[in-house]
Amino acid sequence: MREGAACDRQAAMTETYNPPQSPLDILHEDAQLIVVNKPAGLLSVPGRGAHLADCLLSRVQAAFPQALLVHRLDRDTSGVMVFAQTPHAQRVLGQQFEKRLTRKSYVARVWGHVEPKSGTVDLPLIVDWPNRPRQMVCHETGKPAVTDWRVIRRDGNTTRMRLLPRTGRSHQLRVHMLALGHPILGDPFYADGAARDFPRLMLHSEELRLKHPEGGVSVKFRAPAEF
């Protein structure tokens, strides 16, 4: 899901950036693709300034100098990210993301008991300029944003959910869950009180389906959530 490099950069500039130093978790590698499990707290791409240079792209390129960026995840979101090994793969994969031909599945833990068991949020989003990088719902000028969701299970005062975005707006899943009245646990922008008091944003890109750039065969990459 493309959740905005600009948002990542601005967020990192407002607080101390201490990315995790865990080893690169490679899920798949071939002549066209590198698939990595991104840790929470690490920028997808470098921000402005040397203190924001450490990112998943730079770490991947340290091991695979030819690696090329295809899409991004929020700094606070963990999970599956794909990089291209060739310009051809970057172009083909980029078109799939742009045309919404990929299929992405996220796991999230949210505050409260979600009812009913499934549904869809269809609310247009736009940046909340005075409060950047926050996003907000705006029916007049917002861009279309649609998220399908279903409950996995309820645990105490929280609910584990599967989120299936049809679009890829910045902070889409986070704002859509807030709009349901169930912010994602640990969200520094949209949760407050007890819902915010968690060690990380409880949002993970668990599965990514796409067509391989060499041959067009459908492939699936998966990394289970750690929470």
- Residues 43 and 55: their CA atoms lie apart, in Å, by 5
Structure tokens at 35: 């698939």
Active site residue 197: no
Residue recorded with tokens 């609910």: 159
Contact 3, 171 (CB under 8 A): yes
Biggest alpha carbon distance in the chain?
Answer: 50
Residues 6+ apart with CB under 8 A from 36: 24, 25, 26, 27, 56, 60, 80, 81, 82, 83
- Residues 78 and 65: their CA atoms lie apart, in Å, by 23
- Residues 204 and 5: their CA atoms lie apart, in Å, by 17
The residue from 8, 74, 76, 187 that is catalytic is 74
How many DSSP H helices and E strands does the chain contain? Answer: 4, 12
Do strands 68-69 and 78-84 pair parallel, antiparallel, or not at all (unpaired)?
Answer: antiparallel
**Residues labelled as active-site residues:** 74
